[in-house]
Chain A
Amino acid sequence: MVSRELDRLADEELMQLVQQGDPRAFELLYDRHGGAAFSLAYRMVGDRAAAEDIVQEALLSMWRSRVRYEPARGSVRTWVLGIVHHRAIDGLRRNLVHQRRRASAEGIEEVHEAAERTDVEAARREEARSVRAAMDELPGEQLQVIELAYFGGFTHTQIAEMLEMPVGTVKGRMRLGLEKLRRQLGEVVGV
């Protein structure tokens, strides 16, 4: 059981304990960010078991490389999600041809939305709505390449082939899309 004292610490303070090898602090970080990590992995691979594996592998790698965390480079949450994203892309690309995600009448496990039991969970849901709203303001062609790259794990050359357009156009839309998203987020959440 994670103690109440630890529960009061900010992520960055917990990370200092994690860097000293404290598994209780790591557990608390999982409690705070494991849901987001799993949600991202599931959004990318569309399969519960594969998403679990990605999160397990990513967070174990985070535990093993904990000394490398640098607060100046971003929040703990961003660091966690970045590692999960990288792992999921790696998995998608290396299994592109052999991927077999079979549905079965047996052992079906549905994935449920996280309940809004706490203010933090409600805030996370609201954050998701706000960011999604900002993304929906992007021109369709920019949002499309951003989603194919970020969530689909496709490279810019694969996307160019799929959409039958020059690679330069795809890269340009990615950069312009991020530029516009940054402005939208500034309006929505004050980034």
Chain B
Amino acid sequence: MSEQGHESYREEIGAYLLGALSESEVEVFERHLSGCERCSEEVARLQVAADAIPRSVTPLAPPPRLKKSLMKAVTGESPGRAPRRFRLPAFPRLSPALAAALVAVGVLAGVGVSLLASGDEGKTVAARVDRARLPQASASLVEPAGSGKGALLRVQGMPTPGPGRVYQVWLRRDGEIVPGTVFSVRSDGTGAAAIPQGVKGVRQVMVTRERVGGARAPSEKP
């Protein structure tokens, strides 16, 4: 292994530990790792930091049915719920009246981002901010080129959401509002929220302040 080759692998250690390599890249990296003492040592050293990241998550109470379902499957005392692949919940569409109300709540409660027409290239769209409530805030939506890619909402000048609160992203499609990820902001007011599913077909991206853990529908709580 040349020094240059080694350095290129060394540079991937962070991505490897964070799960940010593709499956094929992981295979190649692990082949190198098995024969490289220096990289192995550095992986072991930085593993401590990567392992700590999930411990930063605010503890939530799992629903009791999860344990019941899991233990049924484990003990085999009953057929239990078969393990499923990442099920996507299907809920009925909201009524137009209710959807309109929720949108109004969402926009009034935080940041509304109006999307421009889609183009062939990636773009960044400035957000419309409720100046009455967030006078210092600005936000932008980063949408990479191509379909099926995630988007990123960046915010600046946002106040911390307060104790027990987080910011939550909402995606408005025709007649429905889809909950997105929750995020917080740093002490300097900056923050970012991933939108893994992208914004194809999304009419509006909004942010509200919610209780820690997020919500399934936007709330009006300040």
Contact = CB atoms under 8 A, between A and B. Distances in A.
A127 B57 CA distance: 9
A92 interface: yes
A131 B89 contact: no
Given A57-B84, A96-B150, A112-B61, A131 B19 contact: no
Q: Which of B45, B88, B93 is packed against the most chain A CB atoms within 10 Å?
A: B88
A110 B213 contact: yes
Contacts of B66: 34, 38, 52, 55-56
Nearest to A170: B15
Nearest to A92: B196
B145 A91 contact: no
Contacts of A125: 58-59
A143 B187 CA distance: 13
A81 B59 contact: no
Nearest to B10: A175
A99 B22 contact: no
A162 B197 CA distance: 13
A162 to B, nearest CB: 5
Interface in A34-50: 34-40, 42-43, 45-50
Given A140-B188, A181-B49, A156 B217 contact: no
A104 B14 contact: no
A71 interface: no
Q: Which of A89, A104, A113, A131 is packed against the most chain B CB atoms within 10 Å?
A: A104
A149 B17 CA distance: 10
B215 interface: yes
Contact of A36 (B59, B86, B188, B200): B59
Given A60-B74, A103-B217, A162-B151, A35 B83 contact: no
Interface in A123-169: 124-125, 127-128, 131-132, 134-136, 140, 143-144, 146-159, 161-164, 168
B35 interface: no
A5 interface: no
Q: Chain A contact residues (Cβ within 8 angstroms of B): what range?
A: 35 or more
Nearest to A26: B74
Given A23-B75, A84-B54, A185-B48, 18 more contacts: A34-B66, A46-B179, A50-B87, A57-B84, A91-B85, A102-B90, A104-B91, A110-B215, A111-B213, A113-B211, A128-B57, A150-B50, A152-B150, A152-B181, A155-B15, A157-B22, A176-B14, A178-B49
Nearest 7 A/B pairs, CB to CB: A174-B14, A91-B86, A175-B14, A152-B194, A111-B213, A38-B62, A104-B91
20 contacts: A26-B71, A36-B57, A45-B86, A53-B85, A53-B87, A56-B70, A84-B54, A85-B54, A96-B150, A101-B178, A112-B60, A113-B58, A114-B60, A128-B56, A136-B187, A150-B50, A152-B181, A171-B14, A178-B50, A182-B46
Interface of B: 10-15, 17-22, 45-63, 65-67, 69-71, 73-75, 81, 83-95, 98, 102, 122, 142, 144-145, 147-152, 164, 168, 170, 176-182, 186-188, 190, 192, 194, 196-198, 200, 211-218
Interface of A: 23, 26-27, 30-31, 34-40, 42-43, 45-50, 52-57, 59-61, 63, 74, 78, 81-82, 84-87, 89-92, 94-115, 121, 124-125, 127-128, 131-132, 134-136, 140, 143-144, 146-159, 161-164, 168, 170-179, 181-182, 185, 191
